[in-house]
Structure 1
Amino acid sequence: MTEAVRLGALDFIRKPALPETLIRSVRDALSAREKETILAVDDEPMNLMATEEIFGIRYHIRTASSGEEALREVEERKPELVLLDLHMPGMDGLEVMARIREIEGCENLPVVFLTADDDADTEAEIFKAGAMDFIRKPFVMQVALQRIRHVLELKHLQDSMQEEVDRKTEAITENNRKIQNLSKQVILALAGTIDAKDPYTKGHSSRVADYALEMAKRMNKSEREQTEIYSIALLHDVGKIGIPLSIINKPGRLTPEEYEEIKSHTLRGYDILKTISELPELSVGARWHHERYDGNGYPDRKAGEDIPEVARIICVADCYDAMSSDRSYRKALPQQMVRSEIENGRGTQFDPDIARIMLKMIDEDTDYKMRGDTDGK
C-alpha cells in the first residue's frame, strides 16, 4: 500500500468493501485533493445542473448562462478550463472563445465545446477556432470525464514544458550575458595592452571606439550594430602588439623598411582576430581601417563601397584621433587644421558621407572635449 501511495495513488481501500464504504472513500479522496475549476457555459439551466452533477465530484464547477457572464467569470476567476455550449442566443460559443483569447493571461486557456451537432463541418470549425476538444450531446458520463481529464493533463504538460523552456531560456540568456561581459572585459584589456606599448597613443583605441560609436548612432545603426562597431574599433590596432617599440616610438622619419613594418600591423591584427568565431567582424576593422576611399590605401587597395563600412568608419575616427593627439614625431594639430584635413580628404581618403558626420561632430565640439589633448587651439 505504501508503494502505491508513493507512486501517486490518492489512497487505498481494503477488499472486500461495502459499496457505501467504497463510494465514501472515493469521494473523500477526491475532495482531499485540490480541485481544478471548470467554468460551464450554457443558456439552459437544466444543462448547467447536469454538468455540475456529472463533473462536480472531480472538479470545482462554476457556471455562466450567457457569453457576457462567461467573460466576466474568466477575467475574475481564471478557471483551468471552459466547457462551452456552441449554440447560445446573442453571443455564440465561437465568439465567446474568441473574446476569451483577448483576455490577458487566457490566450491558451483550454476550451472544450459541447454541441449536439453531428457533422464534419462543425467539428472542423471548432478545431480551426482553437478549441482543444469537443463533446457531443447527449454524452456518456465516463467518456466526458475522461476527455476533460485528457485536456487538462495536456494543458499541465504544456505548462510544464513551457516552464522548462523558460528556465532554460533564462539560463542561456544569463550565460550569454556573462560571456558577453567577459568578452567585453577581454576586449578592453587587450585594447589597453595595445595602447600601453606607446605612451603617445595611450587611450587611442578607446577614443577611436568612442568616435566610431557616436558616428554609428548618427547613422541610425541598431544597438547591436553599435556594440559591434565599438568592439571592432577598440581592437583596430591590435596588430601593433607585434611591432617593435623602437619603430612605434621613433621620433624621426621612418625608413621605407620601418614603414612597411608599421603597415604590417593590419595583417597581423587580422591574423590575430580572424580565429575569434564569436565576433568574426572583429578582424575586418583591423585589416582594412587603412584603406582609402580612392583605392590608394593598404593592405589590399580596396576602394569605395568595397571597403567594409565599419572599416570606413574606423578610418575617419582613427585619423581624427591621430591628428588631434600628440605623437612621438609631432604635436597635436589645431582643431581647425584637423577639420580642414578631413574636409579635403572627403571622397579621396575618406568615405564622403562618413566624413561629413565627423565634420559635424567637430563643429559641435566647441570646447574640444573630443580631442586626445583637450586643446584644439
Structure 2
Amino acid sequence: MVAHDEPRASILIVDDEQSLLDICQESLTEAGYSIHIAHNGTTALKMLEHLPGLDLIISDLRMPGMSGLDLMKKLKEGASEADFLIMTGFGSIETAVESIRLGAVDYLPKPFNISHLLLKVEKILQIRRNREDRKKLSNLVRVLNLSQAMNTKLDMKSLTNEFLSQIQKNFNPDGTVFLLEDGTGLQSKAMRGALLRNNPQLATWVKQLGERIFRQQLPELILLKNKKFSSMCTEGPPPDESITSVMVAPMTTRMKSIGAIVLLRNSSKDEYSREQSQLLNVFAAHTASAFENARLYGQLWDMNLEVIRSFAQAVEAKDVYTRGHSERVAIYATHLGNRLNLSRQDLHLLYTGGILHDIGKIGIPDIILNKPSKLTNEEFVVMQRHPELGRAILNQVKSFSEILPIIFYHHERVDGTGYPMGLQQEEIPLLARILSVVDAFEAMTSDRAYRKALPMDVVRDLLQNGAGRQWQEDLVKVWLEEVSKPSFANLQQVNIAGHVAFDESYDA
C-alpha cells in the first residue's frame, strides 16, 4: 500500500453494484485518494451537502431512482463543483456524446481494468489541478490589480468609485449595494443597478442582509434554484423572483467590520459560484484595509494641517496686514491646480505650499516686514532671503521635502529676472509657477502696510502686462478666467482661523 500524508483528492463513487464499489474503493484508497461511496443518485445528492471539497464524482449511468445523467444535471445547478466521470455497461457513441455534452469530463465503459480506471482518474485530476492553478493565478492577478488600483487613492470618494469599478469588472453584477459604518451606523454609500432602482423593497432587503453580515463578519452565498429559496438567510427570500444568486461579504480589518458589499444576479446570467464568493471576500478584505488606511491618512493630514497652519500664523503674527494671506493663497493655488486637472497629490502639495510659502519671513526683521513705505535696495535684498530661509526651516522636516521647491522658487520669473536663482520658463517647477500667479493676485487684492487693495481692473491689467515676463502666460489666462466667474466670490470668503475642509472644497 502506498502511504500518503494527505489525500491526493476527494472522490465520490456512485453505483448500485456493491462488488464494483468495493473494488474501486480499495484500489483508489491504496492510490492515496479519500473515497466516499453512495448506492444511488439520491443518496449521493444528499452526501454532497456535506462534501464541499469534493474533486471528482465517478457515477454509474443507469441506477434505480436517479440516473447518473440526472445526478450530473443537479451538479450543474450548483450542488457541487466536482468533475464528473460516467461509467456504464450499456455504452454507445450516443451515450458518450450526451454525457460529455451535459458536462462529464470523460466516459468509462464497463467492464474496465482497474489500472485503466486509475489512469483515467489521475488524468482528470491533473487537468483539474492545472485548471485550478490557472484560476488561482487569474484570481491573484485580479487581487493584485485591485490592490494596485486602491493604493493610488487616499480619499473615500475615489476609493469608493475605484472599488465599485473593480467589482463591476470582475463580478458583473446586476445590482450592487455598498455599505459603510460612519460612526452613526451602517449607511448605504452606493446603490447601483436597475434591479434596485425599480424595487425599493429589494433595496430594504439587501440593506438588512448587509447589516447581518456586517455584524456576523462572515460571507454568504445565496442560491435560488427553480424559484425556490434555499438558504439559511434569516431575511427570507429576496422580493424579486428574477434574482438567481446573491453574494455578500463583510468589509473587515483587524477583526473589526467597517461595512459590507452585496452583489445580485438575475436569471440573465449564471449563478455566482463558491469560488467567486471567496474572491469577493478577498476583495472586500483588501478594500477594507484601503479604507482604513485612508481614514488614518485623513487623521494624519488633519494633524499635519494644524501644525502647518500654526507655522503660517507665527509669520502672520508679525505682520497684521498679511493675516489670512497664506490661507487664501493656498486655496487659490489649489483651485487653479484643480482647473488644470492636476493630480490629487499635486493639489495637496499646492495647498501645503501655499500655507507655508512665506514661512521664511519669520526670519525677516519686523522693521522691514512692516515698513509702511517702499523698501530700499538694501532692505529688499534682505526681504529676498525669505524663500531661502523658508527652505532651510522646512528642510528639517522630512515630510515637507516635496514642497521645498514650491517654497524656494515661488518668486522666480519666467523671463529669468526673479529670485533667488534667476530660473526661467520650465526651469521653474510647475507648482511654483502656479503659486507665483495666485500669490501676486492675492497680494494685489489685499491691503498692505504701504497701500490699500488695488481695484480689480488694475489687478487684471497688471497680471496681463506681466504675462510672459513675470508669470507663465497661459496660467495667467486661466486664472483670470476663473476670477471672472461669479462663483469666484465663494473662494474669497476664507475663514482666517483656517477651518477650510480641503476634501470638500477641492476634490478633483
- Closer, same or farther: CA 73–204 of 1 in aligned 2, 3 Å: same
Q: Which residue of 2 aligns with 1:144?
A: none
Name structure 1 gaps, 5 residues minimum. Answer: 1-39, 75-80, 95-113, 133-157
Q: CA deviation at 1:288?
A: 0.5
Equivalent in 131, 135, 140 of residue 130 of structure 1: 135
Q: Which residue of 1 aligns with 2:355?
A: 234
Equivalent in 423, 427, 440 of residue 319 of structure 1: 440
The 2-side partners of 1:92 and 1:58 are apart by: 20
| TM-score in terms of structure 1 length | 0.62
Q: Does 1:356 find its partner at 2:477?
A: yes
Q: Which residue of 1 aligns with 2:368?
A: 247
The 2-side partners of 1:267 and 1:86 are apart by: 79
The 1-side partners of 2:485 and 2:282 are apart by: 55
The 2-side partners of 1:123 and 1:369 are apart by: 64
Q: Which residue of 1 aligns with 2:467?
A: 346
Aligned residue identity for 1:92 = G
What are the within-5 Å matches in structure 2 for residues 54-73 of structure 1?
A: 70=75, 73=78
* DSSP 3-state at the match of 2:82: strand
Contact 2:45 2:71 in 1 (8 A): no
Contact 2:482 2:488 in 1 (8 A): no
* DSSP 3-state at the match of 1:119: helix
Q: Which residue of 2 aligns with 1:92?
A: 103
Q: Which residue of 2 aligns with 1:207?
A: 328
Percent identity among equivalent residues? 29
Q: Which residue of 2 aligns with 1:141?
A: none
Greater relative CO (CA pairs within 8 A, separation 6+):
1
Name structure 2 gaps, 5 residues minimum. Answer: 1-35, 55-65, 87-98, 106-117, 138-278, 495-508
Q: CA deviation at 1:346?
A: 1.0
The 1-side partners of 2:378 and 2:131 are apart by: 81
The 2-side partners of 1:348 and 1:68 are apart by: 79
Q: Which residue of 2 aligns with 1:220?
A: 341
> How big is the alpha-carbon RMSD for the aligned residues of Structure 1 and Structure 2?
4.2
The 1-side partners of 2:422 and 2:53 are apart by: 78
The 2-side partners of 1:269 and 1:317 are apart by: 19
| TM-score in terms of structure 2 length | 0.47
Q: Does 1:259 find its partner at 2:270?
A: no
- Closer, same or farther: CA 349–48 of 1 in aligned 2, 3 Å: farther
Q: CA deviation at 1:194?
A: 2.1
* DSSP 3-state at the match of 1:364: coil
- Closer, same or farther: CA 124–286 of 1 in aligned 2, 3 Å: same
Aligned residue identity for 2:103 = D
Q: Deviations over 1:54-75 (max 9, x none)?
A: x7778799x995787556547x
* DSSP 3-state at the match of 1:229: helix
The 1-side partners of 2:482 and 2:285 are apart by: 49
- Closer, same or farther: CA 56–91 of 1 in aligned 2, 3 Å: closer
* Larger radius of gyration between Structure 1 and Structure 2: 1
Q: CA deviation at 1:295?
A: 0.8
Contact 2:72 2:84 in 1 (8 A): no
* DSSP 3-state at the match of 1:266: helix
Equivalent in 180, 197, 222 of residue 301 of structure 2: 180
Q: Which structure has more helix as a fraction of its residues?
A: 1
Contact 2:415 2:470 in 1 (8 A): yes
Aligned residue identity for 2:82 = L
- Closer, same or farther: CA 318–58 of 1 in aligned 2, 3 Å: closer
Aligned residue identity for 2:395 = K
Aligned residue identity for 1:361 = E
- Closer, same or farther: CA 50–58 of 1 in aligned 2, 3 Å: closer
Contact 1:316 1:355 in 2 (8 A): yes
